[in-house]
Amino acid sequence: MALRRVFLLRSVVPRAAGLSTEPQAREQPAANPGVVRAWGAAEVVRRPVPVVDFDNTQEAYRSRRSWELVRNLLVLRLCASPVLLAHHEQLLHVSRKLLGQRMFDKLMKMTFYGHFVAGEDQESIRPLIQHNKAFGVGSILDYGIEEDLSPEEAERKEMESCTSEAERDSSGTNKREKQYQVHPAFGDRRDGVISARTYFYANEAKCDNYMENLLKCIEASGGASDGGFSAIKLTALGRPQFLLQFSDVLTRWRRFFHQMAAEQGQAGRAAVDTKLEVVVLQESIAKMGIASRAEIEGWFTPETLGVSGTVDLLDWNSLIDSRTQLSRHLVVPNVQTGQLEPLLSRFTEEEEQQMKRMLQRMDVLAKKAREAGVRLMIDAEQSYFQPAISRLTLEMQRRFNVDKPLIFNTFQCYLKEAYDNVTMDMELALREGWCFGAKLVRGAYLAQERARAVEIGYEDPINPTYEATNAMYHRCLNYVLEKLKHSPKAEVMVASHNEDTVRFTLCRMEELGLHPDDGQVCFGQLLGMCDQISFPLGQAGFPVYKYVPYGPVMEVLPYLSRRALENSSIMKGAQRERQLLWQELHRRLRTGNLFHHPA
């Protein structure tokens, strides 16, 4: 079976009986000439960490000329205008017709494009990357082009690429759960999404072309600065049908674990704390008639699961990695019917080849990133793709995050299961000895996810309120920060435009003794947004990065449209950034420094 081959990507790491999560000491070079490090019994002498002041406009905008501040004000003001935003697509179309393509491109570069996009190609983005780096701000390069499809075209492509041949031909055998079935009402995945690029599968050649662009992006990131990132979306690397089917498998297998936990009186526990008694588990599986008792006992041995007599979710997930004797029996009970159903779906030969090529593209990109000294940021996507994306990212982390984090997974904290996802991945990294790398975000698909759950009829995967999402974000962040204190192999990016979240992070770093020069905690914001957060952090010596999209003007327009809409939603709730920009312009005018030149 095709999905079983994914589980065979690696050899399972056995769990030792007394495995310790205490880190081993390792020597790191000083990140700053003013830092003297001593290892072993000696104390570490570090530079004092400056206080970060997000209200000091002179420092926040020291890297910007006055005309750039005026442009920022103009763009952010337009983004806050409901009338303009409601008709922005028509206005862009009319402007292009009236001005002609050349003048239209110039207008865009003077305004929206110049504000949110770094340039058209690898060469043109260098000056901005190097300029920001001089002021302490790194880059996450993102080749931001999208196909400009009509809603009808997007829906047609999505329905074709997310439906298997078996599903088209069969009468409904082995159907996926509702959440992982494609639905025409949500065929256009761009609808209701305001801050993430969206790709639709056309053919394998298109995926190869996207991979080639990503390879160039990785080269550009490696050539422009040290320690940079490149961002990738897995839906651009292959047929999304595979991600849907794989996500269905992972979710059903995980749910089966929690059903067994409930039978053992452990319902409601955090995933990382849930442990099944092996003897009771074997009895339950035997009663289902899945296999003989002798076969079942062979699945749970001290060699594979340790001698604790319990199975946790990490052990449970490992059972479908490479144990072919168990894979033949992979069935789970259907909650509605009570019947046992096969867990893995069959693929046609062509679909298997498409799946293999997707995995090969991921491998090519990771090897290129390692060669160029660039870290890969795997973007999060819709919840019905995310289990597969996270699992494939984890497999890449096992292979490439050996000495330091090269592959970063993204965790969306608006998901109800975000804390379980973060804690399980961290625990697995500690158990197996590879380097945990994560980016924490709130999430980009909220409206679409809620509407889809209601329309199709499954549980809403999103936290009920914005406050609950904030609480989840801080809970996940606090957990990771506490683990970093004892694990020099782990790193996290706090990707947030929320000043309160950034202040919370700085406070916890100080309390836990996490020094910015160690590079374990970094921050991320989008280019053109929240410079008053990014640049004070960078100038104080904290690792901070801008998400830097680039690409030809016309091909980046779909991205720009959503960026304008995103700023609209932010600016309605707060005018702080505009107020600070005005404040700095007034200060420069009063002090005769209107022609400020960054240095």
Return the pLDDT at 50.
Answer: 85
Question: The tokens of 7 are what?
Answer: 């589980």
Task: Place 18 in a pLDDT band, splitting at 50, 70 and 90.
Answer: very low
Return the pLDDT at 103.
Answer: 93
CA distance 71 to 563: 16
Q: Which of 599, 580, 498, 497 is nearest to 546 (CA)?
A: 497
Return the pLDDT at 24.
Answer: 39
Return the pLDDT at 441.
Answer: 96
The beta-strand segments (E) located in 339-489 are 340-342, 375-378, 407-412, 437-441
What's the DSSP call for residue 123?
Answer: T
Residue with tokens 């926040």: 60
CA distance 415 to 225: 34
Least confident of 39-43, 85-89, 294-298: 39-43
Return the pLDDT at 170.
Answer: 61
Residues 6+ apart with CB under 8 A from 256: 332, 333
What's the DSSP call for residue 170?
Answer: S
* Amino acid letter for position 120: E
* Amino acid letter for position 529: M
Question: The tokens of 11 are what?
Answer: 């050899």
Return the pLDDT at 259.
Answer: 86
What does the pLDDT average to over 438-444? 94
3-state SS, residue 403: coil
Return the pLDDT at 334.
Answer: 55
Return the pLDDT at 34.
Answer: 38
Q: Tell me: the pLDDT tens digits for 143-168?
A: 877 777 788 888 888 888 888 777 76
Question: The tokens of 415 are what?
Answer: 């998901």
CA distance 22 to 449: 39
CA distance 218 to 215: 5
Residues 6+ apart with CB under 8 A from 559: 116, 117, 144, 145, 146, 197, 549, 551
3-state SS, residue 265: coil
| Residue 357: Cβ within 10 Å count | 17
HSE on the CB side for 3, CA within 13 Å?
A: 22
CB 278 within 8 A of CB 300: yes
Phi, psi of 545 (to 5 degrees): -135, 145
Return the pLDDT at 556.
Answer: 84
CB 521 within 8 A of CB 515: no
Task: Place 43 in a pLDDT band, splitting at 50, 70 and 90.
Answer: low
83 or 409, greater pLDDT: 409
CA distance 471 to 188: 31
Residues 6+ apart with CB under 8 A from 545: 137, 138, 139, 140, 228, 229, 493, 522, 523, 524, 525
Question: The tokens of 323 are what?
Answer: 């144990």
Q: What percent of the chain has pLDDT over 90?
A: 45
What's the DSSP call for residue 139?
Answer: E
| 483 pLDDT above the threshold of 90 | yes
What does the pLDDT average to over 59-75? 93
Q: Tell me: the pLDDT tens digits for 513-572?
A: 999 999 999 999 999 889 999 999 999 999 999 999 998 888 888 777 766 665 555 554
Phi, psi of 93 (to 5 degrees): -65, -45
CA distance 294 to 282: 10
CA distance 477 to 508: 10
CA distance 452 to 441: 21
280 or 469, greater pLDDT: 469
577 or 408, greater pLDDT: 408
175 or 355, greater pLDDT: 355
CA angle 190, 192, 196 (to 5 degrees): 55
46 or 304, greater pLDDT: 46
Helix (H) or strand (E) holding 137: strand 137-143
| Residue 174: Cβ within 10 Å count | 16
DSSP letter for each residue of 511-528: HHT--GGG-SEEEEEETT
| Chain CA centroid to CA 525, Å | 13
3-state SS, residue 412: strand
| 304 pLDDT above the threshold of 70 | no
CA distance 5 to 321: 9
Q: Left (φ > 0), alpha (ψ -120 to 50) or beta: where does 208 sit?
A: alpha
Return the pLDDT at 188.
Answer: 81
CA distance 565 to 134: 30
Q: What percent of the chain has pLDDT over 70?
A: 82
Phi, psi of 140 (to 5 degrees): -115, 100
pLDDT mean across residues, the chain? 82
Return the pLDDT at 254.
Answer: 87
| 198 pLDDT above the threshold of 70 | yes
CB 558 within 8 A of CB 567: no
Q: Tell me: the pLDDT tens digits for 583-592?
A: 999 999 999 9
Q: Which of 424, 361, 432 is nearest to 391 (CA)?
A: 424
| 419 pLDDT above the threshold of 90 | yes
What does the pLDDT average to over 122-131? 90
CA angle 575, 579, 583 (to 5 degrees): 175
Residues 6+ apart with CB under 8 A from 230: 140, 141, 142, 214, 217, 218, 221, 369, 374, 375, 376, 377
What does the pLDDT average to over 95-109? 91
Return the pLDDT at 346.
Answer: 57
CA angle 257, 259, 264 (to 5 degrees): 95
CB 218 within 8 A of CB 369: yes
Helices (H) and strands (E) in the chain, counts: 25, 12
Q: Which residues are paired to 595 by β-bridges?
A: none
